[in-house]
Amino acid sequence: MNIENYKKYVKYTLGQEKSDLVLKNAKLIMVQTGEVIEADLAIKDKYIVGLGDYEGLEELDCSNRYVCPGFIDSHLHFESTLANPKELVHYASLSGTTGFIADPHEAANVAGIKGINYILDQTQDASGDVYIMAPSCVPCKEGEDSGCLMEASDLKKLLGNPRILGLGEVMDEGGVIGLKDRMMAKLDLFSDRVKDGHAISIEGKDLAAYAMSGILTDHESTEYKYAMMKVRNGMYVHIREGSAARNLEAIVRGIVENKTDISRFTFCTDDKHIEDIQKDGHISHNVRKAISLGLKPIDAYKMASLNPAQCYGLDDLGMIAVGKKANLIILSDMENVLIDRVMYEGDFISPVYEGNKMSVDPQLIDSLHIDWFDEDMLAYKSHRYAIGMVEGEILTKLIDLDNYKCHNDLARYDSQMDDPACLKFADNDRKEAMANKISKVAVIERHHNTGRYHVAKVLGYNIKNGAVASSVSHDSHNVIVIGDNDRDMMLALEKLKESKGGYVLVEGGHVYDALPLPVMGLMSDLDSGKMNEVLSRMIARAHKMGVPDGIEPFIALSFIALPVIPEIRIRTRGLYDVLGDRYLD
């Protein structure tokens, strides 16, 4: 709090005047001291001005109620929620998240600075504090066909905005360790700000070098041992629990079993659909699940509030103390995280979403350019190798179809990766069994009419008599389509063009349904209720068509082209071995 505000508010702290609102007899969750105390909480305008014995112009009896600081999501992509960013903030804030550290690299990969400004504009009057990390890797990897290329000179234009906290997740690990000029320029530009990481496939001296560059955080740990490698190098670990990637249980169990200090751990969602938020909660779900796994409740609340505030230098957030913003959660049950009401900047958040009437730049709507693609192009380009889907993960397996075995060291990843999925075909009818499990996937460049595309095989998606097409395809967001026959795949692509982007499900020669995502081909202009209704129907139908229950049909597909996550991905230029950094076939 600056000195002018101090002069304005100190009389309320001293009890010389009544505050606007006092929460009486509340059990305050003091994450900074690890205790729960009973006291009155005085609020004036958007600030906490007193803890103790206070009177207010309005008083709310909070006997038998807990009050904690608002939760902070340490890392998320609004685009991956599919919803309008302001609406996403609204529903997340109702479940207690009042701070958001967003990386708009999905929007930037499609539309550059215009995409980033769309996120900033849409959230400027949202019911939570929305901060932005400037995307570091647009595109995410050299050779990617993204919509835009962002250099340090482009990122420099963002520095004057107070909501730009630092540099977004640095996925180009090789560029950092190998001292590539483009990456060095970006790290230097943000030398005095927080830099987020994406350390998924490095350890030992490489990880140490990566951390020494000033990269402070990572959200890609799938196991406790990998999380600890990063913490030992001075990094913060954002424990991810989203719609697709769920790493919380593995890491929190390790913390509990080893009695690990939690000071360098926070929670994040990364990618979480709005219907999952409405059903399960947001960061509140992470806190509740962590407590159920044996984490001390006060530690879980600290990881959801104070730790991320300290990580990102948000001095006015993260704890209940005088001078901090009155971003608060009132709970009836601390252990089960049962939320009664949520306050943002001293006002209770209305359960009714008021909508967002801001217009959208027409250039952000017309972003799908695939008229050149035809059915003849759906012939396989890759034959020997296939992408193996993994239930409950966005990691994939590199499968050698000639030898019926997996390549690379699977033991490096979660134990779920070690199931003998590749060996299920080792019986008398294994060729027939494998043929029945193969899906065809194509990725098609959609930004600049380059004519680049690739077609390969997938095991584990298992869709039958149909196809799915999507313009959400991390991080370059080229069009991706998967199916078991060319007719349905082409029909899905035609409907996708008509919808100006989104998700399409085709079954038996007919469009079952489509969810238009016209804003950059990433976000809906529908209200979330209508969007969730369509999406839920499509997900349920895709599972009936053979997609395993452990694979979310659209989210899992959206990651199959992301070349920074092991083991194998499809890119517009070929089938790509991530760990070997090489194209196959």
Which has more pLDDT, 487 or 433? Answer: 487
At 436 the pLDDT is 61
- In 10 A of CB 140, how many CB atoms? 22
At 12 the pLDDT is 97
Query: 159 and 210: one domain?
Result: yes
Per-residue pLDDT reduced to its tens digit, 225-265: 999 999 999 999 999 998 777 899 999 999 999 999 999 99
pLDDT at 37 over 50: yes
At 81 the pLDDT is 84
What's the rounded Cα separation, in Å, for the pair 299 and 316? Answer: 20
Query: 415 and 347: one domain?
Result: no
Domain assignment present for 114:
yes
What percentage of the chain reaches a pLDDT higher than 90?
82
Domain assignment present for 451:
yes
Per-residue pLDDT reduced to its tens digit, 40-75: 999 999 999 999 999 999 999 999 999 999 999 999
Mean pLDDT of 363-370: 90
Round the average pLDDT of the chain to a whole number and report it.
92
What's the rounded Cα separation, in Å, for the pair 262 and 86? Answer: 31
DSSP calls for 218-273:
E----SHHHHHHHHHTT-EEEEEB-SS-B-HHHHHHHHHHHT---TTEEEE-BS--
Within 13 A of 387's CA, how many CA atoms are on the CB side?
A: 35
At 357 the pLDDT is 66
Residue 5's pLDDT band (cuts 50, 70, 90): very high
**Gyration radius from the chain CA atoms:** 24
What's the rounded Cα separation, in Å, for the pair 182 and 150? Answer: 10
Query: 342 and 193: one domain?
Result: yes
Query: 327 and 442: one domain?
Result: no
What's the rounded Cα separation, in Å, for the pair 178 and 185? Answer: 13
Per-residue pLDDT reduced to its tens digit, 257-312: 999 999 999 999 998 888 889 889 999 999 999 999 999 999 999 999 999 999 99
- In 10 A of CB 228, how many CB atoms? 18
- In 10 A of CB 411, how many CB atoms? 9
At 435 the pLDDT is 55
Query: 182 and 323: one domain?
Result: yes
User: Residue 585 carries which side chain, given as an amino acid letter?
Assistant: D
Residue 394's pLDDT band (cuts 50, 70, 90): confident
Q: Which domain holds residue 422?
A: 365-583
At 422 the pLDDT is 41
Domain assignment present for 534:
yes
Least confident span in 117-126, 356-365, 455-464, 562-571 = 356-365
Domain assignment present for 359:
no
CATH of the domain at 217: 3.20.20.140
Q: Using H for helix, E for strand and C for coil, what is the string for 486-542? A: HHHHHHHHHHHHHCCCEEEEEECCEEEEEEECCECCCECCCCHHHHHHHHHHHHHHH
End-to-end CA distance of the chain: 60
Domain assignment present for 255:
yes
pLDDT at 494 over 90: yes
Which single residue is written with the structure tokens 């991390």?
A: 474
Domain assignment present for 306:
yes
Query: 428 and 304: one domain?
Result: no
At 275 the pLDDT is 81
Within 13 A of 77's CA, how many CA atoms are on the CB side?
A: 24
Query: 123 and 175: one domain?
Result: yes
According to DSSP, the residues that pair with 29 across neighbouring strands are: 36
Query: 274 and 397: one domain?
Result: no
pLDDT at 410 over 70: no
According to DSSP, the residues that pair with 164 across neighbouring strands are: 132
At 161 the pLDDT is 96
Query: 245 and 220: one domain?
Result: yes
What's the rounded Cα separation, in Å, for the pair 299 and 281? Answer: 19
Query: 214 and 301: one domain?
Result: yes
Domain assignment present for 140:
yes
At 225 the pLDDT is 96
**Residue that is last in its domain, among 321, 354, 387:** 354
Residue 468's pLDDT band (cuts 50, 70, 90): very high
Instruction: Name which of 171, 72, 183, 85 is nearest 474 in CA terms.
Output: 171
pLDDT at 412 over 70: no
Mean pLDDT of 216-229: 96
- Take residue 294 and report the two structure tokens written for it: 């044996």
**Residue that is last in its domain, among 304, 322, 354:** 354
Query: Long-range pairs for 255-263 at CB < 8 Å and ≥24 separation?
Result: 255/224, 255/295, 256/293, 256/294, 256/295, 258/224, 260/228, 262/295, 262/299, 262/302, 262/303, 262/307, 263/307
Query: 345 and 370: one domain?
Result: no
pLDDT at 413 over 70: no
Instruction: Name which of 471, 473, 478 is nearest 450 in CA terms.
Output: 478
Per-residue pLDDT reduced to its tens digit, 116-165: 999 999 999 999 999 999 999 999 888 899 999 999 999 999 999 999 99
Domain assignment present for 372:
yes
Domains of the chain: total: 2
**Residue that is last in its domain, among 354, 385, 403:** 354
Mean pLDDT of 464-490: 96
Per-residue pLDDT reduced to its tens digit, 417-443: 344 344 333 444 444 445 568 999 999
At 404 the pLDDT is 61
Residues 6+ apart with CB under 8 A from 316: 1, 323, 324, 325
Within 13 A of 272's CA, how many CA atoms are on the CB side?
A: 28
Query: 100 and 153: one domain?
Result: yes
At 82 the pLDDT is 87
